[in-house]
Every structure is written in structure tokens, then in C-alpha cells.
Structure 1
């Protein structure tokens, strides 16, 4: 747990700074270039880098016969990693390393794609039987007959003639039978016990053939301990074989990292978006582990797990879909699949994550992992992850998407919740820091508001000096981008706005420092149980809870079962997990079906229902929204047992709803009203219609708030009420200063202050009884200027245009000088339409002597793209707000004479690249304005 330190806020240490994803060309690297790029990242304000062995990019000076020396884990790779560690450690610049090269996880220790330690798919073959069947077990055409495959089981069930549920056929649940014991040499002689049409199924396991393209090795089985041991064994035997290099890794104490779990049950049709196939993700031990963990045999019910496309990336339905071969009871089918998915979750957690985490921790390293992508229950998986990570791409910039994991982060007491931020399809060299169109800060602010407190930028390519073979055709200015232009972004030194990176990374670091102080405090726990692996259906629109000012986490049964999930007291209220998030209430809400968007009740185990009753009886408010849960989560091995458990659950829910601290409502809007009736109010309340998002941290009686205006068009001006005793202080994340705020105290542990936030703007607020550190009294920093306005009518513009040099990594500068009578986008100035670079705008204005000491002079910048610096009379204004662009300049002025104003603007490289790429359109950039110098009166807004 971090403790407030004023020096850390002003100049944050590397551990609070954003990290950079660093794509490397295998071992084809130069040590001096490795050192230079690490030093550049450190100087630009990054605190570390995530090293990824991307594709080996052969250099022209390396003989093809020697390529084998440059593989992952080879001597050359180890030599380069040693150089990277030796460059990083003295700078306190922490390096993280992918578990294997690229992903899905693979290891040179397992190179045969038929090895049982590789990812498996379970295939289903079917034959229609009327009467007797004597023949071979049916083999589907999804099997590759040229590779080994194993018979797992044989079952049968009678076809149902009524309502159709299965996509291909519907089966009678009561007739499902395991016939595996009757198989002889892959043949069976079997007579159906009843009349009608029967289906005979053969289930075959085959490794999926999915390869890690970085090293040409197969993806490992993520449910197998033997596969995880192969990965860590390779680290021991190759990467750590040299004790000096191992000591450097351990001294660096970074993290092992794995990206999202991009596994396919089958590679038929390709990696992404293939034609949906009825092949399920599998592992050889699933049936045994299922029987042990769920208490019944999955074998007779195997047909129900084959939801076509579910186990292929981007190929089809999510877990609410029906199987090709489903049974007559849809509710039973869903719960059989729940049991299957939960078993996969348990195996992934216990066999894979735990093995790798223990190995990493044994070498002073942590495990940072994006555990989503498969049909697993995310909360349970995160029990074996030191640093959970989400991403802006997969969760579609959805705050609710990030909250699927935030409850686990907070209840497992993880200090860091990381985000891979900035991957936007088609935005390479185009994504800006500050813009509205997927601006990086817009993405990051949404994550911060949902509990994230560490950013890893996607990303930066190593500057390869040469590229041979087929890579040579792609080796064009400004260098070989290993992610191409498909995904943003190149945040390294290739783009003009990289020259301003330090101002942005300082801002992120100060914000992350505050969001890592003490413990999180969250208003609501919202119960949600849905095994979907990743939920892209959650939108970016504010929910009714967010509109009302509530913060919340999603919680699942395994989280409510933790020892820390007990009723305690915080700030005079009964709360859940008082030493952690201190939830003021639990909301049992419905969830959207991933296929249709319709609302349905989450499944609820009886044990969790009993916990809700105990919580409510201990004084914790509970609100049930919409249809109350009436299904347990498990099948329990039979329809009768399942129904009996459902009856028990309905009885438990009825008991719950009759408790005095419980309310049942129809909608989320009604839930907000019910929470008010139960005296549950948000920690941050807004006294106007413009909603704000927030995150709260708490330490030693001081509340720290991250406040965010999620609108991209409307500024916020209004009163904000903060929970906490004492006075509010504004902590400026742009320049590190701290200012007291004028406030009104209600006497009930609430403090009210006036606040102004630009669209996408943020504020950091501390509420404390006293503040012992030095304070700044800059009353006019965020005031709304109301007085006389000066609008410069002439500007001199000097542009250093970035253009292609003689070598793909060489950028040359060409100077363009212009005189402007008005400000406008470079795209509207013919000579600048396809120009990227640094533009320096200069103008002058005169201010007469002023005797009014209560007045201030404000520079209002208007529209700028992308980043900027401001100079007044030759003095730079440090820490200017790149979002609000509302800058106090009074102390820099010379009264009674002319004043010189210079604005330096840095763009992305997009417009210059549009010359070479007809599919890339020039985008507005430069100082667009309007720019005004305004004499204002003191404002009541901070």
C-alpha cells in the first residue's frame, strides 16, 4: 500500500509512470540501439517497457545460415536481454517480459504440434441410428486425418421431435448415455433401447495445430500443468542458464506478461474470424477434472458444449448461444456449459496460472496477465495473478467492461490494475494524445474512472537498421512498424508529438500515483455472474448508476465467498469488506444476453443467496433489480437435482426480499432511487445535470478523488459534494502543484466545492483535515475569464516538416514559413495539407498598466492538435493543461509594452504519410483556435 508523499506527486518515481509495449525484431538488434531506446523512453517519462519478441526480422548483414543463432532463448537473444537489463537497471527503468515469444504462449521446449502439451480441440462426429448400429465410430470432417487424433468418448441420445433448441438437432436429455465402454477398436455394435431416431456421437481430441508465428512453435495447452512446466523449464534451462543473466532478471524484478488468450479450438479457416466450426476447446484431463470438481460425469452431456464458433476468435456466438446438439431443456444446457466453463476456469487457474506465478515470484518477478479470451470466469482466474490487466481494444473502451475485473482486483487486494491502452484498428501514426477520436487520454481516463491505475501504451517498435527477405518490402519510412498501420500506435520517437511526451507522461504518472495510494473505496458491489471470457457488448454510454454518481464493481460468487467479504463499518456505515472497497450496498442486477442484448437474471448459487441474506441481516442494503435470480449456476448432474436447487433458491430469494434492508425494483433508474431511500448515496455527488465519473482512494483519514468529465463536447461547471471530513485541496496532475479550494462543510462528513472541467477534463481532489505541505495559491488557474478579450489577428508560422530521408529510419526536416491572418487547420492551408511536424506560431499583443490586483490574464487556446508548449516573452509555461487549454499567464506579462506569445504545436505523422498511402486521409492539425487573451475577474470555480 502506497502512502502519500508530496515529493512523489510532484516528481513521480518510475514505478508510477506509464509503461511502453516494446516490439522487438527477435535477436536481430544492436546493443547500442537497445541502450539508446531505453534511455529515450526513460527521458520521455516512461517507467518501464514490456519486451516482446515479435517476429525475428533478419538483418542484411547476417548470413541466412546463421539465423538459428538469433532465436528466442538462444545465445544472441540472451546477450541482447543482458544488454537491455544492464541499460535499464541503473535508470530504475523496469523491464517486463512476455512469458514466451509473442502469443499465444509457446515455448521452444515444445516444438511438435502433435505433442499432448499443445492446445487441443474436441471434435464431434455424429451418425443417425434407427435400431442397431454396427460400424466405425463417426469421425467428423473437422479432424485433420493426416495428424494423430484420439477417441475420447462415445455417447448416444434420442432425437426430440418437439421444440427445436439445438442448431442441428435437439436431443432428449433423459436418454443421454455414455457408450464408451462398448467401443472395440474404434468400432461399436449397439442397439438403441427405445424406438425412434437416435444420434450416436464420437468425440475426438486432436491438437489444434495453432502456431506461434514468432518462433514456429505450437501454442501450449493453457489447462495443463505439464505445459506450464515446459514454459518455466525453458526459462530455467535457457533464459536463466547463465547465473549472471538470471541475477540481472531478479534484480530488475519486473513482471512476466501474457496478452489476451487468443486460442482457437481449431485452425480450420484461419486464426481470426473463420467460418464457425463445432469444435470445443479441450485438454486431455478435462473429463477427470470435471468429475472431481463438479461431482458428476460430463460424458453423456458432451454434445451440449458444441456452440459453433464459440471457441474460435471472432468466429461466432458467445456463451448465451445454443449448441449444435442441444438437449430439450435450454436451462439445463446452459448450466451444463456453465459447469464445463467453470472446470476450464479452475484448470486454467490451478494448473497454468498458479504454476507460472509461483515460478515468477520465486525469481522476484510478478505475473501480469490478461486472463480473458476464453469462456472462463474472470474473477476466479485473477486469484492467481499478481497484476491483472484489461485492455481498451477488447473491452471497447467500456467502463463496465473494465469493471468485470475491478471487483476481483479490489477484493483480492491487488495494488495494480493495469490496462493495455491505445490499440485502435486502423489508427497507426494517426491516434493523438488529446483528440476526441480515440484520443489516448480519452481512453485512459475511462479506465481510471473504472479502477485502472497503470497504463501500458500500445506501443513502440524497435528501430531496425535493416531488414532482409520479405520484410525488406515493408521497410519504409519512418521505419519498420511491427504492428503496421492496422493498430495504433507508434509512441516512440518517430512522430513529431513524441517531442512533447514528457508533459503527458508526467500527467499520467501523477494521476497513477494518486490512484495507487491507500485502498480503493467503491460505492456499490453489483452482482453479475456470466462466463463470457470477454464482454464486448457493453457500451460506452453512461449507465444510470454512473449518471447518479455511483462508483461500482462487478462481483461474482467466488468473490463474495472470500474471507475478506465480511460486514464491517466504514465512515459510520455498514459496509462489505471494510478494509478494502467498503461497498455501501449490493445490487443484484440483471445482465444482457451477449447475443440479443435482452436482459436476464444472472444465475445465483444457493450459497451466494445465503450470503446475501446474511449481509442484509447484518444491515447491508441490498437492491434486487428486475427479474430476481431463479436459476442456480450448476446442473448438479441431473435435471431433478437442478430443479430441486432452483426451488431452494426461490425460497432463499423470497426470504431475502422480505428483509427490511432489501428493496425489489423494476429498473436501474428505480434502483438508484431505492438506494437513496436506504440512505446509500455516492461518495461524490454533483449538483447539476452534467454527470461526472470518479474513483476514490482512502488512506489515514484522507480521501483522494479522481474526477472525470466524460463528455467530449460539454464543459462541466457546478458544485461537487465530496465525502470526507476536512477541506478540499486540488492536486494539479499537469504541473504537480497543490492548491486549497473554497468549500462549504455540511457537518455530516460532506464537503462541497465548485469545480470546472473541460470536456474530457480531469481533476484530482484530496479531502483532509489539514495539509502540512507547501501550498500554491493560484486562484485564477481554472477561472472562467469574463473581461476584455484580445484576439490576435496576425501570426507568423514556422513549420519544421518531417519528411522521408534517404534511409527508412531517417527523417529530414524541411522548413516552411508562412504569415497567417487567421488560424486554421493545416489541411486548409494548401502548402501544409500533407505536412506533419512541429509548428511554431508567434504573435504579439500589448497590455496597458493595470492596477486591479484581483484581475487575471488568461490564455484560452481553443482547438489544438495534437500537443503544444506555450512561451510568453521567451519563458516557457511548464505543466500546461493539454485538455482544458485554459492557462493563466499574468505573471509572465510585461505591462505597458508589447508581449510575445509563441505556441509550439506537434502533430502526428499521419498527414505526411498520406502522400505515400492513398487510403490515409489528412486530418485536422495545428493551432486551430480561436486563441484569446482575456482579462478576467476572480471566479468562484476552481
Structure 2
């Protein structure tokens, strides 16, 4: 059955019109889903708010928060930026305005008061820049430490007698956007060891790989006295390496400062691998920032304490007490294995080994997955979880929750850590596909973390370049990935900043998008998008997420890469996400009626895809799943290697049982090409069947609560019509929810059979749609129809009458759910004569060009009016003489003749063409409802008059073209753009109304 929804769920008929919004104004069936039309603040997207430092105008700060309210946002993430922690032209004032100073405390209170006054909520960064450090005296317990080493070569049989090798504190730091370590402080010896060399291989002039004989590894710590060692190397091997291992502070700043006092001196990265670092940060807040007034305001309007992605470095990530933790948890002393831990896999983003020499054990692959490296990462991860839990507890004591970007960049088990955090967050800059997001959200769902946030919108295409459609597309990808709370990146303080020219304060030196504020021409037109996003988030935060499949995934260290292509599963309607062996220990990890976690995601099958590693406990859980009857698909072999040094016997026993026993619910297949066949043989069916190759790029998201089910569809492929069959309880009827307008319309075209509802959806590329299934009065529906029937709706009087729209003048036939057949004749000659087919042309164009004022050091734009007169051909401004480099707002006006207004037998549809950035329209001075930017068509029947009509269309651009034209002198923080090529090599952006614009009528027939 074909439907068209409020979000233009429709098929394209012969006339080329996809409808849905057109009949919504006359066919709104009330509020079946309460709260959808005007979502509460808690469901609305927020903005990361960049405060340059505490030297800001308080009234402007209040105004910025008020502007967020006017826009329709739900709140802000208060981030004291301090030039990404690198300081700048305002450093001379840090003695007064540094993070943690009374002036900053005052600004925080002002921001909280403004948040309260505007009915918003605030997340508070734990520190300057990214929240990963606080002011402190250097070398204070709770600050970050690392492990370094010194080494010396000893010949076999030779005697070493003297001072241990000095620490090599210069190593391969990953700099650029990360603070370098400052080389002060002592090196604390924690152990000495030696190992015999088996082989040496040099991959290039600077990198050497040395294999060590495992049997030769020896802990020499007990022989060290006063930093000296006397030791004779055995004669068994020709050459040994002697190591001295030292713990030292990383001395990495998270924010620069001036050395006048501890707080003005900036912030230092804290220990992220024990409770001590979190306690140090909490203590700083309690002593310096949490006044009685601020504590009360946080209780009233605060939402989260927050930390950004970890951009912290270490030669080897470490924490005081790590040795004791390791021995307690792993059961052995790690000293003699320390040399092999200085590995690429344990570095920041797993990019490069800390030293130019990498050691590994002879006879084992140098793949970063030796049992000793795994034991190290397990232990490090336990410390990180302690750090997270400490912040969770502290935030709760303040009446808040904790949120952070969990684990990635560091050698940690992200999937194990996500469930600890109340509101786990990822980011679109790193998690670029839905599959990558599934790896993050699966553990959150199992851990009952319903709200999953994303820092969204950062793209390295140059500041002021982001269009609204490109931002909304990122939202759609996040929705498809199971993420349901957008933290938009970001909004800037709109006051003047020292060293910044027009168009104002610009973080990230003009590299990253986006700098949203009233300084952008599009800002005043963004409210429709914010409302649209809020309605989507409202739906996606209802109840629990439901998934059909769960993939087993061990991924430590974590890298943001796709694991499974997914096109085969999507084409058949299957949804999936991931869980790690650590997640198998969750209380929710139970099977009932062959469904895993039935009260949560409700997984119908487990898939293991070429996985090698598993813990002993997870292998036991795997057997329990099989015994409970959960369908399991194994691609290749089962994981048979224990993670770390413990549990191999248990793993071997359990995996052997799964291989030997004839489980009817386990399917072993050779490749992923056979997954669908295996699922079919195991009778595993998706909740939503899409059933066509076109659906390989159709993402479906299912949410379920006690009274309703919700289906969001996102078409990432070309425009297509999809037949959807959804499992729906008897008594629930489908409603089309229009996220652009808030309207809710009971579907009149669908087929019900055996606990399922079938309907058709037509979606443009990039477009979404929402269908809700909830209790309601059962009415007669259309179950089959002619191709030219492109939409159907119930009458607005509450009766069972159905209206259909036809895309041409031909006859049509329909079959109703009561068995009756309805015939619609060919359009009459008068209907054909009265049909509207109006091409609107001769547009008068006025541009409001946003340019710097006479004083270019001031951030405010001057808006120069350019009257370009009649435009016979609609084209981008960049192709209009004199308007190539214009940024601003274009106002298009035109008149057109309507010989007669539409009757009850037709509707008039305004088609506006592709939307390049924003669009807002008026007909006869009446503003039209919000327009779907992916299919800009709307019913204007109620707006037309017989005779002369006027139309006005306003479109806004980005600021990119205006900045590109002035890239040689724009500045932020005293310097120009860091990557001018983002502007000089880029084409002028295309903006404007490009049409064609027309009004056409569709037949409307009452059955």
C-alpha cells in the first residue's frame, strides 16, 4: 500500500509530485502521540557554547543564551575554550580571567542564571578547553603520569656494574593539536629487567623491531640498590637489552597560562586511570567554583558534568599503583614484560610506537594482541572505569549526571566502558558511519543508557562553510546510527574578542565548522530545523531501541572503522549493533523465548564474524546462549583464544563444546555472503521487512514503549519507493508523523495481516519519515490501489471517509479492507480545464550582502542592499554578475495569475526546487508552514486567491563566500586562517533560489 506522510512519505506519480504535506493541513487527526508537536526542552538539540575566556561582556553572554531560547534549542554545553587551551593574545589577562579564577566563577554563575531565566539546561565542561585537566601545582598526586625507560646493550656473559640507564624522556609525541609534554620533574624507578635479543629488523632508517626470547625475560628489580645494578648476563644468548623503567609525570597542559599563581598558570592533564585524577578535578571545583549559589543553580538547570574526547599523551599510559593493580588482577608481576608494552597499539590513536625501537616476543606476531599487551590494556581499562565511576558518583552528589566521549583515542575497551557513563557521547568527526555508531550504542542500550549524545557538525572544510542540508544529513546519519541527542558544534560567544576581526570570534583558526550564532545569515531561519530535530529526538528517546541482530566484537584498542558492510541486512530489513565480551556480563544479558535481552533491544540472533579472542567468562556466556536456544550465526570460526594470560583452558573447553555439540540453533557459514541464508534457516526474521535491493541504503530505527511503537526511516540512497512490512500488535494503527510541521495523520492506505502492517513509502535521497503505531479506532483502509493514487487520508471530521490524491487525469481503482472496490473515473473535461499548471517566473531579487563595517576589527556585519532586479532565469548567486562573493539573504518576489481557486476536488501544490541552504516562503503575505528541505513542495490551496497572487521566498547563505573573498585579512586570536587552502582552492559556494518554481494541481477524490 502506498502512503505519503507529513514528511512527504509518498510515491512519485506521473506528474512527478510526491505529496504528504499537502493534505496535512486539512487532515490532521489530532495528537495520537502526546508531546510530538511541540517537544519539551529536554528533547531539543543543544549547542556547544564556546566562551573565549572569562574576559567577556556579561550582557552579551546573557543575550547569547537568550538567542538559543528564541531559536528553540534545549540548552548549551558551557565550554571555556581558551583557544583550545593554547592561549593567545589575551594571555596577559589570565591572572584575572583564567579558568578557575573568581572572574570565571562569576561568568559561570551568569551563564547558569541566564540558562534558568530562559528555561534551558546546561552541561558544564570539567575544565578549560576539553575538560581533561584542572589548575594544580605541577607534580601533584592526581595529575597524569606515564612510564618511560632507559636501555643499554649487554653482551652475553658480560657483567653490567653501575648506574642504571637513564630515562629516555624524549619520545615520539603526537603533536599538532595536542600540548607537548614539559620536561621537568624526577623519574621514579619502578623496576629493572633484561631480555635476550632473538632478531633485529629495521623497517626504515628510524624504526627497528627487535624480537626477544620470552624465556630470557628477567625481573632484576630486587638487585637494584641506590639506582645501581650489578648483573652478569647469561651466556645462553649473544646479546641482551637491559631496561630501567621509570614513572614520571606527563606534564602535559590542557590549557596554557601565565606563571603568576597556580590557577593563572593554566591546567594540567589529570590521571585518567584511577579515581585519584577525578578526585583532584572534583576537589578543585569544590574549593574554587562551587559556591552556594552555583550549587543551587546546578541543581535547578544543570544536566551534566562533561569531558571531551581524550587528547592526552604518554609514552606508556600509566597510573601510580598500576603495578599493584596489575598483580592483583592478572596474577603476576608485569615488570619483565614492560618493554613489549611500549607498542604502537598502546599509543595515542594507535598511530606510532613511542620509541623508534619496538620490542616483541620471538615466535609471536607483532599485531598488538599478545596476551601481555591485552593484560596491560585490561588493567588500564579497569583504572579508567574507576575514573569514570568516580565522576559518576560526584556528579550525582551535585544533582547532575555525567557525560563524556568515552574511551576512544586511548588503548581502552570502549564497548566495555560506555555503559558506565550516564550519557555516553560520541562525535560525528570520528564516528562517520552508522556502523561505527552501532559499536558504541549497543553497549549503551544493554546498559539501559537511553540517551546517547553526539558532538555533531565538526567538519574540516573551513569555518562558515557548513550548509543546513549538510548539517541535517549528519543528524540523519546519527539517528540511523542509534544516536538520539544532538549536541551541535557549536555556538560562539558573539561579543568582541581581542585579536579577532570580522566576522567575529572564530575557534579552531577557521579550520572546522561551524560557528552558529546570529552572526550567520542562516541563524534566523534555523528554527524550523531545530524544531524538526527536536521532534525526531522526541521519537527516538521514547521507550527502548529494538534491534534484530547483535554482532560479537572484541576491539581493544578501539579504532573507529566499519566492521560490517550491512547492505545485505538492510536490503532485507534487519537491524543490528555490537556488544563486546565485557558486555556479556551485564545483568540484562539474558535469553527468554529465544530472544536476548527481551525487555531491552530484544536481539533475535547473535552473529560472530571472524572473531579470534574471547574471555573465559564470555565463552561460558556463549554456551549459555546456545543452551537457551538463541539463534547464533558463526562466520568462519568461533573465537578460541583467551583474552590476556588467563582462562585459555576454560575458553578451549567451552568453544569445543559449541563445536562438538549439535546445536540446531547454531549455523556455521564460510563467509558473510551466506548470512541471510543462515538467518532464514534459523527462522530469524526482522521486525521490519523492506524486501528490495533499493533498501540496501534504507536505514530503519525502531523504538518501543508500553503503548506505542515508532519507526524512523532514513534513505541514504537515491529516491525510491519502498514496501514496508512491520510487526504491529493488533489494535495499534499507523500514524504518519511529520517532523517538519508536527502534524499527525492516521494512515488510510495500508494492509493488515497476521500481526503485520504493510504500506509503501517514497523517499527522496537523504529524506526521513516517521510512522507511529499506537492504539486508535480501527477504520476502513485502502489495501490496493492504482499507480496514479499517490496519497490517501481520512476526512478531518472523524468519520471513516477517505480522500485520495491522483497524480494524473486517468481512471483509478482501489480495494478497501472491507472487500469493496472503488472506481474513480477519468477526470472530466472541466476538471482538466480547471487544473492549475503555473510556472512562476520574472523574479525580482534583492540581496542583503553581509560584509565587514568600516572598522574591520569589529565583528558586526554591515548589511548592504543589492537590488538586482528581474531575474528571468533562476540561478545561484555565484553565477550572477556582481554577486559571486556575496553572503547574506536573498529575497525573491514574484506575481502570478490564478484563474480560479482550487475546489474541493483538487489541491494546489507549490514546488520550489532544490534547497541549497535555507528556505522560507510566503504566499499573499501569509507565511507557509516549515518546508522539507529534501523535497520542497507544499499544499498552498488555502493561500491562493482568484486573480493576482504574490509570492515571496527568502533564502539565506553561509558566510563562506564573504570570508573567502577576505581570507587574506580575517583573523582570529591575532592570526589568520590556519589552512587558507580551504578557501583559496574551494569554489564559490552556490546559494539562492534555483527553482524551477511552479504550482500544479492534483485531483482530490472522496471515496
TM-score of the superposed pair, with normalisation by structure 1: 0.88
Taking a change above 3 Å as real, the CA distance of residues 326 and 264 of structure 1, as seen in their structure-2 partners, is farther
Where does residue 619 of structure 2 map in the other structure? 609
CA distance, structure 1, for counterparts of residue 708 and residue 998 of structure 2:
39
CA distance, structure 1, for counterparts of residue 32 and residue 757 of structure 2:
23
Deviation of the 1:824 alpha carbon: 0.8
**Deviations 1:736-787 (CA, angstroms, capped at 9, x unpaired):** 00112234445222111111111110011112342699x9869999986898
CA distance, structure 1, for counterparts of residue 84 and residue 471 of structure 2:
29
- Match among 671, 679, 684 for residue 680 of structure 1: 684
Taking a change above 3 Å as real, the CA distance of residues 771 and 605 of structure 1, as seen in their structure-2 partners, is farther
1:506-545 counterparts in 2 under 5 A? Answer: 506-533=531-558, 535-538=559-562, 543-545=567-569
Taking a change above 3 Å as real, the CA distance of residues 721 and 790 of structure 1, as seen in their structure-2 partners, is same
Aligned length: 879
CA distance, structure 1, for counterparts of residue 587 and residue 805 of structure 2:
45
CA distance, structure 1, for counterparts of residue 246 and residue 806 of structure 2:
70
1:163-562 counterparts in 2 under 5 A? Answer: 167-196=208-237, 197-213=239-255, 215=257, 216-240=266-290, 242-265=291-314, 279-308=315-344, 310-312=346-348, 315-316=351-352, 323-330=358-365, 334-350=370-386, 352-371=387-406, 372-395=408-431, 397-434=432-469, 439-467=470-498, 472=499, 475-533=500-558, 535-538=559-562, 543-562=567-586
CA distance, structure 1, for counterparts of residue 225 and residue 183 of structure 2:
20
CA distance, structure 1, for counterparts of residue 927 and residue 777 of structure 2:
29
Q: Moved runs in structure 1, 4+ residues, more than 6 A?
A: 62-66, 162-166, 778-788
1:50-65 counterparts in 2 under 5 A? Answer: 50-55=77-82
1:624-639 counterparts in 2 under 5 A? Answer: 624-636=634-646
CA distance, structure 1, for counterparts of residue 495 and residue 893 of structure 2:
37
CA distance, structure 1, for counterparts of residue 368 and residue 346 of structure 2:
18
Taking a change above 3 Å as real, the CA distance of residues 56 and 633 of structure 1, as seen in their structure-2 partners, is closer
Deviation of the 1:68 alpha carbon: 2.0
With 685-694 and 137-146 compared, the bigger mean Cα shift is at 137-146
Deviation of the 1:852 alpha carbon: 6.4
Deviation of the 1:530 alpha carbon: 0.9
Q: What is the SS of the residue equivalent to 2:677? A: helix
Q: What is the SS of the residue equivalent to 1:728? A: strand
Q: What is the SS of the residue equivalent to 1:520? A: strand
Taking a change above 3 Å as real, the CA distance of residues 783 and 421 of structure 1, as seen in their structure-2 partners, is farther
CA distance, structure 1, for counterparts of residue 921 and residue 723 of structure 2:
31
Deviation of the 1:378 alpha carbon: 1.3
Deviation of the 1:53 alpha carbon: 1.1
Taking a change above 3 Å as real, the CA distance of residues 671 and 189 of structure 1, as seen in their structure-2 partners, is same
**Deviations 1:796-843 (CA, angstroms, capped at 9, x unpaired):** 111111111235221111111221111111111121110011111122
Deviation of the 1:251 alpha carbon: 1.6
- Match among 912, 934, 942 for residue 1000 of structure 2: 934
Q: What is the SS of the residue equivalent to 1:382? A: helix
Deviation of the 1:516 alpha carbon: 0.7
CA distance, structure 1, for counterparts of residue 965 and residue 767 of structure 2:
34
Q: What is the SS of the residue equivalent to 1:86? A: helix
Deviation of the 1:567 alpha carbon: 1.1
Q: Which has the larger radius of gyration?
A: 2
Taking a change above 3 Å as real, the CA distance of residues 758 and 332 of structure 1, as seen in their structure-2 partners, is closer
Contact 2:850 2:862 in 1 (8 A): yes
Deviation of the 1:56 alpha carbon: 7.6
**Deviations 1:128-173 (CA, angstroms, capped at 9, x unpaired):** 2221322332235335875311112211222224999995200112
With 795-804 and 204-213 compared, the bigger mean Cα shift is at 204-213
- Match among 732, 755, 759 for residue 761 of structure 2: 755
Q: What is the SS of the residue equivalent to 1:138? A: coil
CA distance, structure 2, for counterparts of residue 361 and residue 500 of structure 1:
38
5+ unaligned residues in a row in structure 1: which ranges?
A: 266-278, 591-600
Q: What is the SS of the residue equivalent to 1:446? A: helix
CA distance, structure 2, for counterparts of residue 909 and residue 780 of structure 1:
45
Deviation of the 1:606 alpha carbon: 3.1
CA distance, structure 2, for counterparts of residue 584 and residue 874 of structure 1:
54
Taking a change above 3 Å as real, the CA distance of residues 66 and 483 of structure 1, as seen in their structure-2 partners, is closer
Contact 1:28 1:56 in 2 (8 A): no
**Deviations 1:238-295 (CA, angstroms, capped at 9, x unpaired):** 111x312221122223210100011111xxxxxxxxxxxxx21111221111111222
Deviation of the 1:209 alpha carbon: 2.2
- For the pair 1:578 / 2:598, whether they are aligned, the reply is yes
Contact 2:572 2:691 in 1 (8 A): no
CA distance, structure 2, for counterparts of residue 902 and residue 280 of structure 1:
62
Contact 1:18 1:509 in 2 (8 A): yes
CA distance, structure 2, for counterparts of residue 520 and residue 387 of structure 1:
15
Deviation of the 1:309 alpha carbon: 7.6
CA distance, structure 2, for counterparts of residue 905 and residue 449 of structure 1:
28
- RMSD over aligned Cα atoms: 2.9
Where does residue 706 of structure 2 map in the other structure? 700
Contact 2:805 2:1004 in 1 (8 A): no
Where does residue 909 of structure 1 map in the other structure? 959
Deviation of the 1:194 alpha carbon: 4.2
Q: What is the SS of the residue equivalent to 1:389? A: strand
Deviation of the 1:528 alpha carbon: 0.3
CA distance, structure 2, for counterparts of residue 217 and residue 449 of structure 1:
38
Contact 2:887 2:962 in 1 (8 A): yes
Contact 1:625 1:666 in 2 (8 A): yes
CA distance, structure 1, for counterparts of residue 217 and residue 654 of structure 2:
27
CA distance, structure 1, for counterparts of residue 33 and residue 443 of structure 2:
30
- For the pair 1:925 / 2:991, whether they are aligned, the reply is yes
Contact 1:688 1:718 in 2 (8 A): yes
Deviation of the 1:627 alpha carbon: 3.2
CA distance, structure 2, for counterparts of residue 229 and residue 785 of structure 1:
70
TM-score of the superposed pair, with normalisation by structure 2: 0.83
Where does residue 268 of structure 1 map in the other structure? none
1:468-867 counterparts in 2 under 5 A? Answer: 472=499, 475-533=500-558, 535-538=559-562, 543-569=567-593, 574-590=594-610, 601-636=611-646, 642=648, 644-645=649-650, 647-655=652-660, 658-691=662-695, 692-711=698-717, 714-725=718-729, 726-770=732-776, 789-805=837-853, 806=855, 808-818=858-868, 819-849=870-900, 853-867=904-918
Contact 1:632 1:649 in 2 (8 A): no
